[in-house]
Amino acid sequence: MISESITGSLIIGISGCQLTDQDTTNLRHPAVAGVVLFARNFQSPSQLESLCQSIKQLRQPELLICVDQEGGRVQRFKQGFTSLPSLAVYGRLYQQDTGRACDYAYRHGRVMAAELRARGVDLSFAPVLDVQSASNVIGDRAFSTNPYVIAELGTAMIAGMHDSGMAAVGKHFPGHGTVLADSHHEVVTDTREFDQIVNHDLVPFQQLSQQLDAVMMAHVCYPCVDRMPAGYARFWIQDVLRQQLGFDGAVISDDLDMLGGAGIGDLSARLKASLKAGCNLALVCQADSVTQVLNSMQCENVSSSMPTLSILQPGNQALTMEQMQTVGEWRQWQTSITNLCEL
* Catalytic residue annotation: 184, 254
Residue 171 phi, psi dihedral angles, 5° rounding: -145, 155
| Amino acid present at 123 | L
Residues 75, 311: Cα–Cα separation, whole Å:
24
Residues 197, 222: Cα–Cα separation, whole Å:
9
Residue 128 phi, psi dihedral angles, 5° rounding: -75, 130
Q: Is the peptide bond before 174 cis (omega within 30 degrees of 0)?
A: yes
Find residue 281's DSSP bridge partners.
252
Asked whether the beta carbons of 156 and 103 are under 8 A apart, the reply is yes
* Cα torsion through 235, 237, 239, 242, rounded to 10: 180
Strands (DSSP E) contained in the chain are 10-13, 32-37, 64-67, 69-71, 74-75, 123-124, 169-173, 214-217, 250-255, 281-284
Asked whether the beta carbons of 59 and 23 are under 8 A apart, the reply is no
End-to-end CA, the chain? 51
Identify the CA nearest to 132 among candidates 76, 86, 93, 100.
Answer: 86
Asked whether the beta carbons of 120 and 342 are under 8 A apart, the reply is no
Asked whether the beta carbons of 105 and 157 are under 8 A apart, the reply is yes
- Residue 278 Ramachandran class (φ > 0 left, ψ -120 to 50 alpha, else beta): left
